[in-house]
Amino acid sequence: MNSFVISGGTIVNEGRSFVGDVVVRDGVIEGLSQSGAEIIDARGMLVLPGVIDPHVHFREPGLTAKGDMATESRAAVMGGVTTVLEMPNTSPATTSLELLEQKMEIARTKMATRYGFFVGATSQNILNDIPKFNASKLLCGVKVFIGSSTGDLLVDDERLLSKLFAEYEGVIVAHCEDEAMIREASERLRRQEPDATAAIHTRVRSEEACYRATARAVELADKYGTRLHVAHISTARELALFSGGDVAAKRITAEACVPHLWFSDDDYARLGNLIKCNPAIKTKRDRLALREALKSRKIDVIATDHAPHTLAEKLRPYWDAPSGIPMVQHSLVAMLELFPPELVVEKMCHAPAVRFGLEGGFLRTGSPADIVIVDPNASWVVGRDNIDYKCGWSPLEGSRLFRHRVVRTIIGGRSTFVESR
């Protein structure tokens, strides 16, 4: 099915909602002529652009017990996600164009979504490879960890950061937490509270650690005119570093992730390590500030930071449990529970497309037919029987009754997921 009409749905696009038809011919949005086309009845449904998630960890190569490109992209499609941008901290980490090409070769046969990949900044490739990165059409940006990470992906040296921010011409995505502060807090608190629970995570990875590193990144970007995207803002205090306005006019943009918009530190008592992630989920006040910043356009993009681990790993004692939450299958429906669909589409479809120069993200004539149809009057609960992550669990299990449900996902005019109720 590559030519069809989605008829009678509430189309949500570019700040407007209206009942109408979307006509697709040969995988491209065409217009309103219905001649000879199959009809998809979308009466009572929301018709949205496919979601673009610019921050996922699909774990392949090397960490495939947790997830892989096939399983996690299939879960993404079930959640209405049609494009993902995948992060470099796999095993080995994606730190060169050669390793990027190897990852893309895997993706060609496994990915159910459209995709792009980041290269991770290291001391070595900042010194040697920035001209190659600037010339390459393969990568969607460079990810820099200004804070704790795995392997050699931490870049905390001022000289190297300055070189990267001054010379790289694409978008730099920054994980901002102050490494020295985290290391000191971790060592001190581990001695004091060896049997700590996940409730301590906000003290290990504090507001100050986030603010200090984010301020540092923004200062460097201002100094060198860098195209900077700050990942997973988690505190109210950091918001003072960003301005409102149209994402297309910004050089520095900010991202909020679904876990920081959905949970608060009150949830550690119930969910423990299941919501342990970096940066830490913080207070209700921080969560409210992030939600308001989406409306004021200080935060430009909603992503997931989808990062699956096995349940056995997450059930270890706090100090030994890994950080990361699986979320890509449930991000769209969760955000539709919190925000008007026009805002969700702006932050999860339009803005990521504009920020990273991607096709899709809009319902426009000539755009790829990447479309998601959502039932806004469903009644269902996340459970083991409907989770499609390889890890098999979600912190959203049994948490509440969802009213929105993805019923069809279309990529390039082809239905890649159709609900089988």
Percent of the chain with pLDDT over 70: 96
Alpha helices in 157-206 (DSSP H): 158-167, 179-192, 201-204
**Could you give the C-alpha distances from 13 to 17, 174, 254, 346, 360, in angstroms and in order?**
7, 29, 22, 8, 12
305 given a catalytic annotation: yes
How large a percentage of the chain has pLDDT more than 90? 90
Whole-number pLDDT of residue 157: 84
Mean pLDDT of the chain: 95
User: In which band, very low, low, confident or very high, does the pLDDT at 30 lie, cut at 50, 70 and 90?
Assistant: confident
pLDDT at 178 over 60: yes
Which has the closest alpha carbon to 382: 134, 75, 22? 75
Overall average pLDDT of the 332-351 stretch: 98
Which CA distances in Å does 117 have to 51, 104, 107, 159, 355?
17, 8, 10, 26, 15
Instruction: Tell me how many helices (H) and strands (E) the chain has.
Output: 15, 16
What is the pLDDT at residue 151?
52
Considering 305, 370, 375, 388, which one is annotated as catalytic?
305
Q: Compare 155 and 103 and report the one with higher pLDDT.
A: 103
pLDDT of residue 420: 78
pLDDT reported for residue 399: 79
**Where do the CATH 2.30.40.10 domains begin and end in the chain?**
4-47+364-418
Q: What is the pTM of this model?
A: 0.95
> Confidence class of residue 27 from pLDDT cuts 50, 70 and 90?
very high
Residue 379 pLDDT greater than 60, yes or no: yes
How many whole angstroms separate alpha carbon 52 and alpha carbon 362? 10
CATH fold for the domain made of 50-356: TIM Barrel (3.20.20)
DSSP state of 238: G
Domain 4-47+364-418 - what CATH class?
Answer: mainly beta
| Of 49-63, 147-161, 320-334, 400-414, the least confident | 147-161
| CATH 3.20.20.140 boundaries in the chain | 50-356
201 pLDDT more than 90 = yes
**What pLDDT shows up at residue 149?**
46
The residues, ordered by sequence, that sit 6+ positions from 66 with a Cβ below 8 Å of its Cβ are 59, 308, 309, 310, 313, 390, 391
Number of C-beta neighbours around residue 247 at 10 A: 18
For position 38, what pLDDT does the model report? 82
Tell whether the model's pLDDT for residue 34 goes beyond 70: no
- Whole-number Å distance between alpha carbons of 151 and 189: 23
pLDDT of residue 32: 44
pLDDT of amino acid 6: 93
pLDDT at 338: 97
Residues 6+ apart with CB under 8 A from 14: 350, 362, 363
